[in-house]
Amino acid sequence: MTKKQHDLLRKKLQDKRRALVAAYVTNKNYGRDTENGDTQDIADKATNAYTKEFLYSLSNTDRNILQLVDEALERLKNGTFGVCLECGEKMIPKRLDAVPWARHCIVCQEREEKGLL
């Protein structure tokens, strides 16, 4: 991997990390705002409850991706970025360009999704 590719992927990971942290803060603030709201009718309460649950599930996904992004940034630092954590093979650049926080090559990812890892 060239230094230019390395720097580009680090920037992508850092940008994704900033976006995830911003989304977390927004969701957290929304939850507080709706708790303090003076909703009067039952439909508003149901809508607010659904929205809070939806945002909570999004934040769980965001937290998982944030952890993967942090792990990828650490692998960039220690020189193991771009290597599949399962088989040890180098990942193709297109995979890293599409999902820079990927932990597995395409073959191992497919195996994980099938529950074989």
Provide the pLDDT confidence category of residue 75 given band limits of 50, 70 and 90. very high
pLDDT score of 103 more than 80: yes
Amino acid identity of 18?
R
Which domains does the chain possess? 1-81 (1.20.120.910), 82-117 (no CATH)
pLDDT score of 104 more than 90: yes
Task: Provide the 8-state DSSP code for 83.
Answer: B
pLDDT tens for 107-117 read 999 999 999 98
Residue 38 sits at the vertex; the CA angle it makes with 50 and 57, to the nearest 5 degrees, is: 20
pLDDT score of 38 more than 80: no
The lowest-confidence range among 41-45, 49-53, 61-65, 82-86 is: 49-53
Cβ–Cβ contacts within 10 Å for residue 20, how many? Answer: 20
55 vs 26 pLDDT, higher one: 26
Average pLDDT, the chain: 84
Confirm if 96 and 82 have CB atoms less than 8 A apart. Answer: yes
**Cross-strand bridge partners of residue 90:** 83
Q: What is the pLDDT of residue 32?
A: 58
Cβ–Cβ contacts within 10 Å for residue 90, how many? Answer: 11
The lowest-confidence range among 38-42, 89-93, 111-115 is: 38-42
How far apart are the C-alpha atoms of 15 and 82, rounded to whole Å?
A: 18
